[in-house]
Each structure stands twice: as structure tokens, then as C-alpha cells.
Structure 1
Amino acid sequence: MSRGTFHFVLELIEPHLKAHRPVLQRQLESGLRLAVALWWYATPCEYRSISTIFGIGVSTVCMVVQEVTAALRKFLGKRCITLPSGTRLQETIDGFAQRGYPMCPGAIDGSHIPMITPSVDAAAYYNRNGWHSVVLQAVVDHRFCFSNVFVGLPGSMHDARVLVNSLLYRKAEDQGRYLFLHDVSVHPSKLCVSNVMHACCVNVQNQRKFNKALNSARIVVEHAFGRLKGQWRCLSKYLDISTTLVPDVVFACCVLHNICEINKEDFPSEWSLVEADGPAPNSADCTDQQGHGHQAIHSAIKSIL
């Protein structure tokens, strides 16, 4: 994240951080608190490692992460993650048409977010890959930005059930199964939730051609998940936080993902993480995994602040 983007985020959430600053954190500037949270989001660091890096208490790190997470969700959630409408909707449809799939307002898929074994109803969170997780369902536009996010249901739940339980599905049901009511200059039946498309199983020429076009659109959401987990590495390890806090952290990372994508932040291709069917990676100390010493980390923080 560049300095400009950092200060853009800080300007938007600083009023909340100042208004809800506990007595023990009054000496911590808002910029430092945002930097602490961003470092936790972006690395596999544990609280104790960040405590050493920034020279603050472990409990303070925990509280700062929770407060910044709440601020990102409350003040930037609806601003940064919204279904396209008007001109933006038409641009999204045109963007997918250029990929070879017409009349598409977004690509939808699910991803598993690793977490530690929950203390309550652990079996429900045990997914088919053999680890505990919550499901992130997301709609992505042609620019790899999230336009709808639904997260928090247990990892054992099937994708179809996740969709039916999502606010996206309920919105369509309330609108007669239409998500985009006469919002573009096309027939609205082409944009209803009942027309969620999936690949054909019959291997004949027409089906193969359709599947190829569909995959050209669907790959956008896969890339978005890879970029999300590649940039915000806390989502690629077992999240060692309360089960109730996991959805908020995931949502906050999706907000930051959109901000970085819109601002065209640099994203090296080697950062992208491919969805895997095997065990999720274990937590690791950030200095061991990335090879950064404390001096280099402090230099990076200083350049942002």
C-alpha cells in the first residue's frame, strides 16, 4: 500500500479511531494504530510479534486490530463494496463482454478462510478439505473488485446453501428474483439471480464453446481471491481470533482489497495465492517467513507514517 493510499484510508476512519480511543491507547496516534492493523492483516504475524515490532503491549495490539477492523467495516464497507448500478453496471457488463461472456454483471464464487478450531460447534466449521474455516462468498466485477461480500457461515456448508442464505439472494427474492431492476438498457430477465450460470457437463462442441466463454468470466473471481489472500496474508493462515470476529476481519480485508485495486497499487504476480484443496498453512512468525529483520520493518513503517 502506497503512502497516498494509506493516508486516504486514515483520513476516512480517523474520526472513529479518535472518538473510540480507550484510555490505555491515548498515546498512540491514529496513523500508528492503522499501521499496526495493516501489518497484522498483511503478514502471518502473531500479536506477540507485532507487539515487539511496534513496542506496544500484546493486549494493545489486539484492541487496535479490533477497532480498526470495526472502523473499516462501518465507515468504508458500503462505500467500497456495492453492487454496480447505472453507468458502473453498464461498464461491468461491457467489461465481461470483452472477455467473451455477454450480459454478465458479475462473477460469483466461494472461498474458504482458515481459522483455528472454534470452541463451539467445531464440526460445522470442518470443511471437505480437512480443516476448519468460514465461507467467503463474493461477487466480483471485471476489475477484480468485490461488489458483494457475504462471509461467516461454517466451512462445511455447501455453496448452494451459502447462496440461499445470503443477503444477495434475499434481495433478489424481495425484488421478484431480479437484482438489477431496469438499471441498464437491456431486458432485465437477463440479469436475474435465477440465471446464475455454471459449466455444462455434456462434452459436445456447443457446450465446450459455452464453457470456454463462461470460464473467461469466472476466472475473474478466482484471481480476485488469489490477490486478496496474497496481499492480506492473515487470510492464508489459521486465523487465531474469536469466531465472531473472523467475518469482520475478512470483510475489512475485502474493503482494503478494493481500495488497493481502484488505486492501482502494485501487485507482483508472485504474491497471488492459488486456491488449494490441501491443508491450510500454519501460522508462522512474520520475521521467520519473510526474512525481514526489525530494522527493515521499522524503516517500512516510517516511510508510510
Structure 2
Amino acid sequence: MDKQQLVLWLSETAISSDESDSSEWSDVCTIRQDVSEDEDNSDEEEDTLFFPLMQYLIRLRRKRVDDYLHIIDSWTDAEFKNRMRLSRKTAYRLIDELEKSGFIASHKFGLKPLEPKLCFYIFLSFIANTEPLTPIATRFDISISSTFRVIRRVVAWILTKLNDAIKWPQTFEEISLLCDSFHNKTGITHMVGIIDCTHIKIEKPKNAREYCNPKGYFSIILQATIDANLRFTNVFCGEPGSSNCTRVLKKSPLYNTASQNRNALFPHNTFLVGHSSYPSLPWLMPPFRENKRLTPQQREFNSLHTSTRKLSDKAFSLLKGRFRRIKLFTVYRNIAFITDTIVAACILHNYCLNENDHLEEHE
């Protein structure tokens, strides 16, 4: 395609736009007419036509982006939280951190400036819903490939916050406070957390059999330990859906560390609780197996154990309720990307709780 044909094509693209400035548009129409009437223009004359048209289209596309950002800014705080799943205060704080991180380049790519605010809103639009990339790209007037690149970059930045957001209690005071919180809520002493797994539904991958779980759909597994305030204190993600909880546990760094040095994670005879599929370990307590020989104390423990595990169900429910993408990954078959996105969602889950950014039950 030579420059004259490109000018004509670009002008036709501009015609299809619903947003145009009348004075600028009349100039573009004049340009197109001149090109059609005289196809023997010199290179200098072609540049005279080409660059003003390109500048017009650049301004037009930037106006579309600014318009949608203005729409987002015009939302009430309730509308913002309902759509983006974070409070505006939390979002602005994260945008400031993203801007200082250097993960978003300050220069411009193509026709659109990739500002941190724009990038973070694209990411939130992605993780807050299960819709495909096309409508997200359309709303922000950015190509699908650029949209995916932005999402991956923001995910990579969030993962740098992993050790600060998801951390095991380190000091004696932290462990004591955690045990006291669990004792007040559940009646179980010396407990530092609940361990549980949840399946994240994915599209059929290449090695489908390995990822097909017992319920008949394809998934990867998120293993997490949860504290009394529904925060994640440890996460391990990416094992195929056909794995059981014990197999996932034994592959996790948590298991390796606890097996080699129990006191590093579970000092003073502290432990985790888990459901009946987990093995009984010095630092992991499943319920006692039901039989007629259980003592009253063991039956009471099982009753407390059952109510305690509702906390892990609630934590996973909050995670998937806030970040709906975690319920279902459609189209995406890159397991590494899916795993990173899930861990990023867990980090944001903790970040929101630390900021007292809670969702109402109906949300």
C-alpha cells in the first residue's frame, strides 16, 4: 500500500468514527478529495496530506481514551466499587505506587499514552469480570495485543508485592495474636491457620486429562492458608485439577519447610487445621475419623473443626466474589499467566483487607 492509498484508507477509517470535530473533519474530507482527484502528487505533496491526517486520527483516538477515563471519574464511589471491585481510595493508592514502580514506561507507544492510571483501569476491568479482552480493548480504544501486554505488565508489578502482602507470622507476638484470634472465634487453641484448596476453572488445555478434576471440568488448584481475619498467609498455585489436596500439599514449599524445620513455621506446638482429605501431621490437624469409639472431647473438636473451616470457604468466596476472573478463565490457555493472575488476585485480596476495603455480603 503506497502513501496515497494509506491516506485514503485512513480517511475511510475516520469516516466510520462516531466522534469527530466538524472543522477538522471538513479538512480531512478536503484532503481525501484532493488525493482522489490527483494521484500524481509528488512525495512532498503526499507528506502534506499524510501527516495532518495522521495527527487528526491521533487526536481523535486520544479523545476517545480521555472520554472513557472521564466516564470512570464521573462514577460515584459506589458505582466505581461495583464495577472495579476496589474502592476509589484503594485504586488511587495503587495507581500512585504503580507510577513510581517504573513498570509502566513514561513514553508513548503507538497512538496512545500508556499512563499508569489507564493501565491499572484496564487491569481492573479484566480481573473484575469474566468478559473476553475484545470489549475491554474496545472501551479503552486499544488493540487486543496491547491490552494483554498491559495486563501482564500490571500483574508482574503486583507480584513484586507478594512477600509484603502474603506473609507468614514471624515473631512470637504475631503468632500469639493469631492464636488468640482463632481461639476467640473458633474455640481451638494453638491454631495459626486453616489450609484449604479451591479449583479455578479454565478452558480445555492441551494436556486435558491431567487438568480434568473429579467434578468433570478443567481446573488448576489454588492452595492457601488463611488466618482468622480471612487474609492469606501462604499461597501455592498451579497444580493440575486432577491432583488431590495431599499431593498438592506435598509439592508445596510450605510442606518442605515444615518437614525440615517445624519450628520455623510452627513454634510452641502450633498447627494448621485442614479437612479430612489432608494427612495427620505434627503441624496439621484434620478432624478425627468418625467412628463409635470417639471420645466426647474428640467429637467436640470435630464440631469446632467443622465451623472453623467455614472461614476458608468465606475467604475463597470473597476472593472470587471480588475478582470474578478467578471464577473462570475463558480463552486463556497459558497456565503460567493464569497462575500469576490468581496469585496477583490473592495479593490484592490481602491489600484490600489491610486497607479496610471490604465488600458487602450482597456484592
Deviation of 1:109 after TM superposition, in Å, equals: 0.2
CA distance in 2, matches of 1:28, 1:260: 25
Partner residue, 2:253? 167
- Tell me whether 1:264 sits opposite 2:356 in the alignment: yes
Partner residue, 2:188? 101
Once the two structures are superposed, what CA deviation does each residue of 1:192-225 show, in whole Å capped at 9, x if it has no partner? 8633111223255433311121123222111100
Partner residue, 2:337? 245
Deviation of 1:19 after TM superposition, in Å, equals: 4.6
Partner residue, 2:33? none
- Tell me whether 1:122 sits opposite 2:213 in the alignment: no
Partner residue, 2:318? 227
Kept in 1, the 8 Å contact 2:225–2:233? The answer is yes
How many residue pairs end up in the alignment? Answer: 263
Kept in 1, the 8 Å contact 2:106–2:115? The answer is no
Deviation of 1:28 after TM superposition, in Å, equals: 1.7
CA distance in 1, matches of 2:139, 2:217: 30
- Tell me whether 1:61 sits opposite 2:147 in the alignment: yes
Structure 2 counterpart of 1:105, one-letter code: V
Q: 1:21 to 1:71 in 2, by over 3 A?
A: farther
Greater CA drift, 244-253 or 3-12: 3-12
Structure 1 counterpart of 2:269, one-letter code: S
Partner residue, 1:5? 90
Indicate which of 217, 227, 230 corresponds to 1:131.
Answer: 217
Partner residue, 1:194? 282
Specify the SS of the correspondent of 2:362. helix
Specify the SS of the correspondent of 1:248. helix
Q: 1:164 to 1:20 in 2, by over 3 A?
A: farther
CA distance in 2, matches of 1:95, 1:25: 53
Greater CA drift, 132-141 or 7-16: 7-16
Specify the SS of the correspondent of 1:151. strand
Deviation of 1:22 after TM superposition, in Å, equals: 8.0
Specify the SS of the correspondent of 1:135. strand
Structure 2 counterpart of 1:154, one-letter code: P
CA distance in 2, matches of 1:95, 1:114: 33
**Structure 1: gaps (5+ residues):** 183-187, 272-305
Kept in 2, the 8 Å contact 1:125–1:154? The answer is yes
CA distance in 1, matches of 2:123, 2:129: 10
Kept in 1, the 8 Å contact 2:128–2:324? The answer is yes
Q: 1:180 to 1:21 in 2, by over 3 A?
A: farther
**Structure 2: gaps (5+ residues):** 1-85, 273-280
Greater CA drift, 130-139 or 192-201: 192-201
- Tell me whether 1:49 sits opposite 2:146 in the alignment: no
Structure 1 vs Structure 2 CA RMSD: 2.0
Greater CA drift, 10-19 or 134-143: 10-19
Partner residue, 2:63? none
Partner residue, 1:254? 346
Deviation of 1:173 after TM superposition, in Å, equals: 2.3
Kept in 1, the 8 Å contact 2:266–2:283? The answer is no
CA distance in 2, matches of 1:81, 1:213: 26
Q: 1:151 to 1:216 in 2, by over 3 A?
A: same
Kept in 2, the 8 Å contact 1:135–1:151? The answer is yes
Once the two structures are superposed, what CA deviation does each residue of 1:99-148 show, in whole Å capped at 9, x if it has no partner? 211111111000001111112x2211100011111110000101100010
Kept in 1, the 8 Å contact 2:258–2:264? The answer is yes
Structure 2 counterpart of 1:189, one-letter code: N
Specify the SS of the correspondent of 1:252. helix
- Tell me whether 1:146 sits opposite 2:232 in the alignment: yes
CA distance in 2, matches of 1:216, 1:34: 38
Q: 1:88 to 1:69 in 2, by over 3 A?
A: same
Greater length-normalized contact order (CA 8 Å, ≥ 6 residues apart): 1
- Tell me whether 1:213 sits opposite 2:304 in the alignment: yes
Specify the SS of the correspondent of 2:136. helix
Structure 1 counterpart of 2:361, one-letter code: S
Deviation of 1:20 after TM superposition, in Å, equals: 8.9
Partner residue, 2:34? none
Specify the SS of the correspondent of 1:246. helix
TM-score computed with the length of structure 2 as normaliser: 0.68
Kept in 2, the 8 Å contact 1:101–1:216? The answer is no
- Tell me whether 1:33 sits opposite 2:128 in the alignment: no
Kept in 2, the 8 Å contact 1:36–1:65? The answer is yes
CA distance in 2, matches of 1:21, 1:210: 60
